[in-house]
């Protein structure tokens, strides 16, 4: 901890530069590109996962039945460069699109998916090919100020809120806490489903939101496990089935906790967020899964996208691989309020 405090001067300097940058955009000295359709941004202030992917998926499911929509992401750790539509690539996978964009492309047939380091280039590409586009979801773009957004959704994790954190390198914040002022909607994520309204009220006071900012609380909701590999389709899971929980996400604790509540034999093999499985990793997974007979591998939907890469497919072929999907649930019966808010933003803009 002492070493971290020594980094505070660097955090102050870095934070001051980021505050200046945001101020230049606010006053119009630095220009932002305006898309021809409503733009909804989902992002956070910190490094690591705060639930952006399941919240973006919530918006996809909400809007897709009513609007022609697209998602636009940087495509973190993809091997391609520039702006691409998923449908234009010779081969769409986690390497060419990145984990999250490929997940959206894989799961939602009618959702357009684009990736671009420069979001303006991605928006222009989408508008060029799809003039009837009605809304764009920017995934992880809170810091990408060069594009105007009609709805700015900011996520903060209940266990790791921004008001307890510091700017890099002392803490995990990519921007100072003051950047939260630019959010239209703040969502406190990964809450306990049993969070009380009193606890939520005390938490809200610490956020110190502005009067116009709308606040919501969400929890993860685990859906039914389903087979991912051919071998899994002929397997049966029981509470006594030995499980190997395979994760490459930022905070896998809740995923593991859920499995441990329902299964008596759970081992875990955790990799860093967005980890690309090496041949040695794949061999370790196979050995760990075959050491105990009838072991089933349980992974997340995002991690499963990397198991579809050519070098990883042998794991899917050899093992019983299942997926435990995650969705978000709005607490305190606020889902309808949130949905109306999003619909209203799109219709107004």
Task: Decide: helix, strand or coil at residue 297.
Answer: strand
Picking from 119, 139, 141, 117, the residue whose alpha carbon sits closest to that of residue 45 is 141
Inter-residue contact 254 to 220 (CB < 8 Å):
yes
Q: Which residues contact 221 (CB under 8 A, 6 or more apart)?
A: 193, 326, 327, 328, 329
Q: What is the rounded distance in angstroms from the CA atom of residue 139 to the CA atom of residue 101?
A: 9
For the chain, which residues score pLDDT lower than 50?
1
Beta-bridge partners for 58: none
Q: Boundaries of CATH 3.40.50.300 in the chain?
A: 31-220+330-348
Residues carrying CATH 3.40.640.10, the chain: 226-324
- Whole-number pLDDT of residue 4: 65
pLDDT for the residue numbered 320: 96
Say what the pLDDT of residue 50 is: 86
Q: Tell whether domain 226-324 is in CATH 3.30.420.240.
A: no
Overall pTM surpassing 0.85 (yes/no): yes
The domain over range 31-220+330-348 is classified in CATH as 3.40.50.300: yes
Strand 214-222 and strand 185-189: the pairing is parallel
For 64, half-sphere exposure in the C-beta direction (CA atoms, 13 angstrom radius) is 17
φ, ψ dihedrals at 154, nearest 5°: -115, 125
Helix axes 52-63, 335-348, angle to 10 degrees: 70
- Cis link prior to 12 (omega < 30° from 0)? no
pLDDT value for 1: 45
Instruction: Record the tokens describing residue 230, joined without a space.
Output: 């051919």
Summarize pLDDT for 285-317 with one digit per residue, the tens.
999 999 999 999 999 999 999 999 998 888 888
């Amino acid at each position: 901890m002492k070493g971290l405090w020594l980094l505070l001067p660097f955090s102050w300097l870095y934070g001051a530069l980021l505050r200046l940058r945001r101020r230049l955009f606010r006053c119009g000295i630095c220009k932002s590109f305006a898309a021809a359709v409503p733009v909804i941004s989902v992002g956070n202030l910190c490094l690591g996962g705060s639930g952006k992917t399941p919240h973006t998926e919530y918006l996809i499911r909400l809007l897709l039945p009513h609007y022609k929509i697209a998602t636009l992401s940087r495509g973190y750790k993809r091997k391609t460069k520039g702006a691409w539509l998923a449908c234009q690539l010779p081969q769409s996978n986690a390497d060419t699109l990145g984990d999250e964009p490929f997940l959206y492309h894989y799961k939602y047939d009618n959702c357009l998916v684009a990736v671009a380091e420069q979001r303006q280039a991605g928006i222009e590409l989408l508008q060029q090919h799809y003039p009837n586009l009605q809304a764009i979801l920017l995934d992880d773009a809170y810091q990408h100020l060069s594009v105007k957004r009609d709805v700015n959704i900011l996520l903060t994790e209940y266990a790791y809120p921004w008001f307890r954190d510091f700017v890099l390198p002392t803490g995990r914040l990519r921007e100072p806490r003051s950047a939260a002022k630019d959010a239209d909607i703040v969502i406190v994520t990964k809450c306990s489903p049993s969070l009380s309204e009193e606890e939520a009220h005390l938490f809200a006071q610490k956020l110190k939101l502005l009067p116009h900012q709308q606040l919501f609380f969400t929890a993860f909701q685990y859906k039914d496990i389903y087979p991912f590999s051919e071998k899994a389709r002929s397997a049966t899971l029981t509470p006594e089935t030995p499980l190997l929980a395979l994760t490459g996400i930022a905070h896998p604790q809740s995923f593991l906790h859920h499995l441990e509540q329902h299964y008596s034999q759970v081992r875990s093999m955790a990799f860093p967020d967005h980890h690309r499985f090496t041949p040695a990793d794949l061999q370790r997974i196979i050995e760990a899964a075959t050491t105990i007979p009838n072991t089933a591998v349980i992974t997340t939907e995002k991690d499963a996208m990397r198991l579809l890469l050519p070098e990883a497919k042998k794991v899917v072929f050899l093992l019983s691989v299942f997926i435990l999907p995650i969705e978000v649930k709005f607490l305190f019966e606020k889902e309808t309020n949130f949905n109306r808010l999003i619909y209203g933003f799109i219709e107004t803009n």
